[in-house]
A and B are shown apart, each in its own frame.
Chain A
Amino acid sequence: MQEFIQLIVSGLANGGIYASLALALVLIYNAMGLVNFAQGEMAMFATFIAFTLIDRGLSYWIALPLTLVIAFAGGVVIERVVIRPVERAPVLTLVIVTLGLATLINGTAGFLFGYSPREFPSPFSVRAVNLLGAFVSYRDLGVIATSAVVLVLIYALLQRTTLGLTMRAAAYHPEASRLLGVRVSWMLALGWGLASAVGAVSGIMVAPVLVLDPNLMQTIIIYAFAAAVLGGVESPLGAVVGGLIVGVTVNLAGAYVPFVGGDLQLAVALAIIVAVLVVKPNGLFGRATVRNV
């Protein structure tokens, strides 16, 4: 029983990691109806920027907001330079462009920063706290808490501000939005900038828990995809809930399902993605869209 509770608690902690990156994925999806394969790499790169700033002597609390600003700017630049020329291209083109972006960013990070593992500080202590007889570290709790805060901010932005409404309108029906005077292109850039910043937050929270190297987000992105798909790709709440569920499921499956064992945990994420997409493509919190013929 003890083991079971520990697995769930740890699963929630791991799930927090997936949720934090999934939030960035959800933002981009809300901005342009696309899943960004490069999200993880962008988050990793932003984390390395933070690492470099701290390494050069900046205090953590100055480096952090500075990195968010840089990440935001980077996201906007990427959208303007790389995505804008192919904005209206078919899905395949966009998928390939984001894949190319992912490879490019990963290679650049590897070249600039090397592949050795690095230490990354966290405002949360490493001590573990006893929760219902199970242990979880403050850092892991910090990841979940930060994700919750980001979730609230995103929700507020998207649902409660005009800007958020404009962004969603631009994604949903670009032509009509243009007719209404919306600068659709810049909404897209804004979406990318915000997603990039959210990704940076994810990376900064995750790096102290895992190990900072260019491959930091390589497998996390798949679990984040699973989380976003499970929760409904356009719902920030879905991303967080989805992340927590994925974290717990993967842990439990790894421990109790002999077929999965410790080796096929990633396959569990794949199974979740496929199952959700086939059975209920809109996920837990997404809305069903009707396609007009």
Chain B
Amino acid sequence: MNIAMQRLRSAPPRYWLVLVVAIFFVGLPTVVTSFQSSEWTLVLIFAIVIMGLNILVGYSGQISLGHGALMAVGAYTSVILIHRYHINYLVTIPIAGLLTGVVGFLLGIPALRLSALYLALATFALAVVTPSLIKRPVQLTGGVQGLFIAAPDPPQFAKDAFGAVTGGAVMTSDQWFYYVTVVIAMVLFWFAWNLVRHRPGRALRAIRDREVAAASSGINIAGYKTLAFGISAFYAGIGGALYGLTSGSVYPDSFPLALSLALLVGTVIGGLASIAGPLVGGIFTFWLPIVSGQFVASQPWIPAQIAAVFKNAGPAVTYGALLILIMIFAPNGIVGLITSGYAFLRRRLRRPAERETGQAQPDPETV
């Protein structure tokens, strides 16, 4: 007991932060409307995909402008399995993830031969072509008409638990699905965190920073790079499946180029090579179009001219400008800003003893 208490007290602050965030997400649907829960479901879905994209871009240093295409693979896999083969929707999620992971792994093989710039080009073209590719096999994908599924009903145990906690409120389909997403996000978050903390993470970072040196120390470059593609595709596939399930439908136009770009943007703005970044990225990706489109327009204190600009030029101009500004001033993203700000503050608030020796406490989590 004493040892446990000691461990608890000496745990670094970020563990407490994680706990707070976890409590926030678990408790959310009990205090907000069902619709607002569904919004946060989408935030978490984006966060999941961005987590995967982060492993690829932030940790292994390979660019992908085409993750929307991978989401499409996951979404269509899941919906087709439900629609045609009547498989339980929960079971389709890992299947979609695995299938997409394999696709990503296969994509990673030719990607090995492409330099960063060319990889960006190729994946960009892939993202543009995706809706057309989906439309082609009409029998399978339903073509332009898309495919629909029914909203999943919460199981009895969930309804009972929710009712008990909220004093009688009936759990909606959206709220149930929110919890499914939260659980999956937590599992995937934990998995990614362990991945980057241990050997694979170090190998990937070594490859990203000094590929030639990494090769000479015996790291299997090709293996790790394609693995990174595969894993990030796995995440995208799961995110895609959840995306399709929460929307209730999939169409070729649900996965346009804009989605792929938004995912990459979210990854970078959240903060590359960080674990908290994807969550920030997910929040950003989901809320930006809404804020720039509606929020600005409805605030009375913003002059009408400016509001009109935002409304019409809206997301495009805001995205573009924000992207450029963040890349110039905060290339490590928002999380990067926060951590460097935090580090700055810590240096300022260092205890006298440390200041004299000039040594900072070693950070147990060098990520």
- Segment with Cβ contacts to A, from B122-130, B167-175, B354-362: B122-130
Q: Are the CB atoms of A222 and B114 closer together than 8 Å?
A: no
- Compute how far the CA of A90 lies from the CA of B133 in the bound complex, rounded to whole angstroms: 32
**Residue numbers in B under 8 Å from A108 (CB-CB):** 313, 317
Does chain A have a CB within 8 A of B118?
A: yes
**Residue numbers in A under 8 Å from B276 (CB-CB):** none
Q: Are the CB atoms of A99 and B261 closer together than 8 Å?
A: yes
Interface of A is mostly: helix
Does chain B have a CB within 8 A of A273?
A: yes
**Residue numbers in A under 8 Å from B87 (CB-CB):** none
- Compute how far the CA of A92 lies from the CA of B125 in the bound complex, rounded to whole angstroms: 16
Given that A110-B313, A111-B309, A293-B212 are contacting pairs, would A225 and B331 also be in contact in the complex, using a CB cutoff of 8 Å? Answer: no
Q: Are the CB atoms of A107 and B320 closer together than 8 Å?
A: yes
Cβ 8 A contact of B264, one of A89, A96, A263: A96
Cβ 8 A contact of B313, one of A33, A97, A107, A278: A107
- Compute how far the CA of A260 lies from the CA of B305 in the bound complex, rounded to whole angstroms: 47
Does chain A have a CB within 8 A of B165?
A: no
- Compute how far the CA of A82 lies from the CA of B325 in the bound complex, rounded to whole angstroms: 9
Does chain A have a CB within 8 A of B120?
A: yes
**Residue numbers in B under 8 Å from A95 (CB-CB):** 63, 65, 116-117, 120
With CB as the reference atom, state the residue of chain A lying closest to B119.
A277
Given that A35-B121, A91-B117, A104-B324 are contacting pairs, would A264 and B136 also be in contact in the complex, using a CB cutoff of 8 Å? Answer: yes
Q: Are the CB atoms of A86 and B328 closer together than 8 Å?
A: yes
Q: Are the CB atoms of A101 and B324 closer together than 8 Å?
A: yes
**Residue numbers in A under 8 Å from B118 (CB-CB):** 229, 277, 281
Q: Are the CB atoms of A267 and B133 closer together than 8 Å?
A: yes
Cβ 8 A contact of B122, one of A82, A92, A103, A274: A274
Q: Which of A's residues lie within 8 Å of B, judged by CB?
A: 33-35, 37, 82, 85-86, 89-93, 95-97, 99-108, 110-111, 219, 222, 225-226, 229, 263-264, 266-267, 269-270, 273-274, 277-278, 281, 293
Known contacts A102-B320, A103-B319, A104-B316; 17 further A-B pairs (Cβ under 8 A): A35-B120, A86-B331, A92-B61, A92-B116, A95-B120, A99-B65, A100-B324, A103-B316, A104-B321, A104-B324, A107-B315, A111-B317, A263-B132, A263-B135, A264-B132, A273-B122, A281-B113
